[in-house]
Amino acid sequence: MSIFEKGCLVQLSVSIWGGRIKLPSSALQVDADPALIRATKFLVDRECLKPVERVRNEARGHLYEKTLPFPIPGVLFIPKDLIGRIDEKLKNYQADFKEQAEAFSKNYDFFMQGARLRLNSLYDPDDYPADIRSKFSFSWRFLMLDAPGRSGVLTPEIYEREQEKFQKTIEEFHELAGATLRTRFAEMVDHVVDRLSGEKKVFRDSLIENIRTFLSDFSQLNINDDTALESQVNRCRAILEGVDPRTLRSDEGFRNEVAKKMGKVREQLDAMMIARPKRKIRIPDANGLEKGAATRSPGIRAAAGQDGAQHVQDGTPDITETAESTHREAVA
């Protein structure tokens, strides 16, 4: 079965006005070579952009949890049974993003006035875009990937080369998907064992809720039919069946029992993994989702997505994100 019978790719693009510029060397009054000095001027108080940045980061985080990395920067793989749910969730994030962006735009003049008072001689009205609303956008599209066909456009030599690239891309995806799923689960189990073991530690309900979400989505994300991992997932599901975070906090004996059982799961996971690879196929920043140079890939075409059907044949669509892109490290 083709991997694209099990799901498709998604690309999330989010733009946010940076609200800062590099200061010119002439503005730096220091006894040093200006070529070795860099300084940034913030055009508005950073707190003003926090609401819209929050929505972006939450959207990235949700997408991370429901997808698998794909070896093309800027795109992720979604299992088909999760596509509808993710699309609806992104619509909600888009509406929230629009509301926060419009609130910022409405107060833009006020923010500029505050910056003028604080920046004094460094204030320059030309630093501020006139149409600030156009600096904010939130969109996504779904994509499919095909090997190039014998259309007559490609020479036989190029066609064979692109076919080989396509196969290597799919093989790399399977490796990434398997490693990511094992790593994500292992890190969650590690965190649960750490918080429940030894002296009583503070933990949030999300400690249990996050791993339960993973357990719920596992059958869709397990595109490689990893039976060894599935066995440990089922074992973890049985351990956490009916477990209430409040009981874990109040009943030390019960907490230690759950920690011990989860420790056994961790031992099995450690035995399964020689090394735990970090999720490098991502585009995160400190808040959200590593940028990479766009690579040329055979036969990407856009499937019917949020903005309607799009088609790109025998080439690569623009998969670089407008601001910072979409992925983050697993954080419980």
Q: What is the pLDDT of residues 138-155, one digit of tens each?
A: 999 999 888 777 667 888
Identify the pLDDT of residue 37.
76
The whole-number average pLDDT for the span 78-82 is 96
- Between these two residues, 265 and 29, which has the higher pLDDT value? 265
CB atoms within 10 A of CB 52: 23
Measured distance CA(108)–CA(100) in Å, rounded: 12
pLDDT band for 300, please (50, 70, 90 cuts).
Answer: very low
Q: Which of 278, 300, 313, 307 is nearest to 13 (CA)?
A: 307
Identify the pLDDT of residue 57.
97
Measured distance CA(96)–CA(116) in Å, rounded: 29
- Token code pair at residue 163: 């076919």
Identify the pLDDT of residue 318.
31
Q: Provide the 3-class DSSP secondary structure of residue 28.
A: coil
Most confident region among 69-78, 306-315, 318-327 by mean pLDDT: 69-78
Phi-psi region of 52 (alpha: psi -120 to 50; beta: other; left: phi over 0): alpha
Domain boundaries in the chain?
3-147+286-302, 156-272
Q: Which of 172, 218, 170, 226 is nearest to 2 (CA)?
A: 170
Check whether 236 has a pLDDT greater than 80: yes
Identify the pLDDT of residue 33.
76
Identify the pLDDT of residue 23.
85
CB atoms within 10 A of CB 247: 12
For the entire predicted model, the pTM comes to: 0.78
CA torsion sign for 48, 51, 55, 57 is: positive
Identify the pLDDT of residue 102.
98
- Token code pair at residue 283: 């585009």
Residues 180, 68 contacting (CB under 8 angstroms): yes
Measured distance CA(187)–CA(328) in Å, rounded: 14
Residues 184, 330 contacting (CB under 8 angstroms): yes
The whole-number average pLDDT for the span 89-96 is 98
pLDDT band for 322, please (50, 70, 90 cuts).
Answer: very low
Percent of the chain scored above 70 by pLDDT?
Answer: 80
Check whether 301 has a pLDDT greater than 60: no
Identify the pLDDT of residue 199.
81
Q: Provide the 3-class DSSP secondary structure of residue 21.
A: strand
Q: Provide the 3-class DSSP secondary structure of residue 218.
A: helix
- Token code pair at residue 117: 């008072």
Identify the pLDDT of residue 151.
67
Check whether 278 has a pLDDT greater than 50: no
